[in-house]
Chains A and B, each alone.
Chain A
Amino acid sequence: QSVLTQPPSVSGTPGQRVTISCTGSSSNIGAGYDVHWYQQLPGTAPKLLIYGNHNRPSGVPDRFSGSKSGTSASLAITGLQAEDEADYYCQSYDISLRDWVFGGGTKLTVL
């Protein structure tokens, strides 16, 4: 069981908007720690997608956006493309565990 909870899978058709949730608790996201998102394409290493809740590193398309509210965060992908098919992970810090924690990951399928 991951400390941060994500849906195991989401799907959408090309051009659609999808969102992936990341639910934490008062000891991590709710405590005030920021949320970061990573994209892992099949067979490759994770790649930073969003940092500090809503910031995109250079090179990440603005189709990707992040937000945080209370004990949860969300990743939104607009204008869905086939190349977005990947696993997505949220990450934060947990003050009780004193560990950096990841969500269990969400597999995005583009139909």
Chain B
Amino acid sequence: EVQLVESGGGLVQPGRSLRLSCTAAGFTFGDYALSWVRQAPGKGLEWIGFIRSKTYGGTTEFAASVKGRFTISRDDSKNIAYLQMNSLKTEDTAVYYCSRDVYYDTTGYSNWYFDLWGRGTLVTVSS
């Protein structure tokens, strides 16, 4: 079955760190970029970062809200992507989803969408 499964969420104190995992199955993991998207309680979706496939350098991009605090890595041999979250704040409380990214070009515009999502893992930042 084609799927993504997040794990590693939980309760953490402000200022501490947490690492989330996203385990893939049923497709060639290394061929795809992967994003992390979060959803605060009762709120909408917020893209926070992604990692390109190794073919495209395996580089990362982040939203301003987490840049400098969060990092993303991947281990294609294990079909896992990681979201390392440092210096956590109460406003980082959310369900964190990983998603598989699809890229295509239209007359010079680079478009991305998220075609497969995990069920999410809840991160609660509280003292």
Q: Which residues of A contact B (CB under 8 A)?
A: 2, 31-34, 36, 38, 40, 44-48, 51-52, 57, 87, 89, 91, 93, 97-105
Known: A33-B109, A93-B110, A100-B35. A51 touches B115 (CB 8 A): yes
Q: How far is it, in angstroms, between the C-alpha of A29 and the C-alpha of B116 when the chains are bound?
A: 23
Closest to B63 in A: A99
Chain B positions 88 through 112: 1 when the CB is less than 8 Å from some CB of chain A, otherwise 0: 0000000001000010101111111
Closest to A99 in B: B63
Nearest chain A CB to B117 CB, angstrom units: 4
Give the residue of B45, B64, B108, B109 whose beta carbon is less than 8 angstroms from that of A46. Answer: B45
Q: How far is it, in angstroms, between the C-alpha of A98 and the C-alpha of B63 when the chains are bound?
A: 8
B47 touches A48 (CB 8 A): no
Nearest chain B CB to A26 CB, angstrom units: 13
Give the residue of B47, B50, B109, B120 whose beta carbon is less than 8 angstroms from that of A102. Answer: B47
Contacts of B16-75 to chain A: CB distance below 8 A: 35, 37, 44-47, 50, 61, 63-64
Q: How far is it, in angstroms, between the C-alpha of A104 and the C-alpha of B63 when the chains are bound?
A: 16
Closest to A55 in B: B113
Within 8 Å CB of B114, what residues of A? 36, 38, 46, 48, 91
Within 8 Å CB of A38, what residues of B? 45, 114
Within 8 Å CB of B47, what residues of A? 91, 99-102
Question: What's the dominant secondary structure at chain B's contact region?
Answer: strand
Within 8 Å CB of A51, what residues of B? 102, 113, 115
> Could you pull out 30 A-B pairs where Cβ atoms are within 8 angstroms?
A31-B109, A32-B107, A32-B108, A32-B109, A33-B111, A34-B109, A34-B111, A34-B113, A36-B113, A45-B97, A46-B37, A47-B117, A48-B116, A48-B117, A52-B106, A52-B111, A87-B44, A89-B44, A89-B45, A91-B113, A91-B114, A93-B110, A93-B111, A93-B112, A100-B47, A100-B50, A101-B47, A102-B46, A103-B44, A105-B44
